[in-house]
């Protein structure tokens, strides 16, 4: 069984994250977890289709049947805990956030074949209005990713000219924070790779112009619980690291 060597996250990776806001781990996800993520992606889409059928619609929130999907899944089922709270994800959190980290958010981002949807330059923190410490986004490729199938583009801190959260402007359904002409650095990587970037690192994605679906799973971890403007917990706060030690998540019942 394939496993990740924690030393794969090197001092060079840590420096790049601090200096430029990101690093890439190629083929970091073990085979059994990659299979799990893919299987759950199919379950997630099937569940969305079931809800669409019940409502007699092809659009459900941000989901468009056979075009694009944005699906929160761990919060619904708990099935992905084995991946989300694995030793190697804890190592990523330790390398980027320090000794304390908790799962903040997760989401499948799926672009089906010949889908023109793209996303403008933004910081993930640009979507969080309440004051918060920067968190880390783990953009996990479940398929080979390229410029042709709508990969993510990273804008390093040095090229963006900013490393702190800035206010974004709403353009259509997107929140946009960078309007320059820098195209960014495309993540071209095999399935099982993880693009690790700060919530203050600008990124965007292009359309999927190929004849195959592009699946990504996004897992985000924060150094502390994030409280929204109403004073309530925002999304999740399930610990993975406390005082430098990995936390075993409580068992959850999952959806049948």
The continuous run of DSSP H or E covering 139 comes out as strand 136-141
pLDDT in the model for residue 251: 65
- Topology of domain 28-246 in CATH is Jelly Rolls (2.60.120)
**pLDDT above 90 (res 2):** no
pLDDT in the model for residue 116: 78
For residues 88 and 180, give the distance between their C-alpha atoms in angstroms, rounded to a whole number: 35
- pLDDT tens, residue by residue, 119-163: 899 999 999 999 999 999 999 999 999 999 999 999 999 999 999
Tokens (6 digits) for 98: 């320090």
Please state the separation of Cα 48 from the chain's center in Å: 19
pTM to 2 decimal places = 0.93
Burial of 159 (0-12, 13-18, 19+ CB in 10 A): middle
Which of helix, strand or coil describes residue 88? helix
Residue ranges covered by each domain of the chain? 28-246
CA 185, 117, 191, 97 torsion: positive or negative? positive
């Amino acid at each position: 069984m394939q496993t990740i060597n924690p030393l794969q996250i090197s001092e060079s990776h840590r420096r790049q994250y601090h200096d430029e806001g990101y690093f890439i781990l190629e083929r970091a996800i073990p085979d059994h977890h990659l299979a799990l993520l893919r299987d759950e992606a199919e379950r997630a889409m099937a569940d969305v289709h079931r809800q669409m059928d019940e409502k007699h619609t092809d659009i459900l929130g941000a989901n468009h049947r056979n075009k694009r999907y944005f699906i929160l899944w761990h919060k619904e089922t708990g099935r992905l805990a084995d991946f989300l709270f694995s030793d190697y994800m804890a190592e990523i959190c330790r390398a980027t956030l320090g000794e304390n980290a908790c799962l903040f958010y997760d989401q499948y981002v799926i672009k089906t074949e010949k889908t023109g949807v793209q996303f403008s330059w933004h910081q993930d923190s640009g979507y969080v209005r309440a004051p918060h410490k920067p968190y880390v986004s783990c953009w996990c490729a479940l398929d080979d990713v390229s410029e042709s199938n709508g990969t993510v583009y990273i804008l390093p801190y040095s090229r963006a000219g900013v490393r702190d959260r800035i206010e974004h402007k709403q353009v259509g359904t997107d929140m946009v924070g960078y309007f320059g002409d820098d195209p960014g650095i495309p993540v071209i990587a095999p399935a099982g790779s993880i693009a690790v970037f700060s919530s203050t690192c600008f990124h965007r994605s292009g359309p999927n112009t190929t004849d195959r679906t592009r699946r990504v799973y996004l897992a985000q971890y924060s150094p502390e619980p994030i409280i929204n403007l109403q004073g309530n917990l925002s999304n999740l706060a399930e610990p993975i690291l406390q005082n430098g030690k990995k936390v075993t998540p409580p068992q959850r019942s999952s959806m049948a």
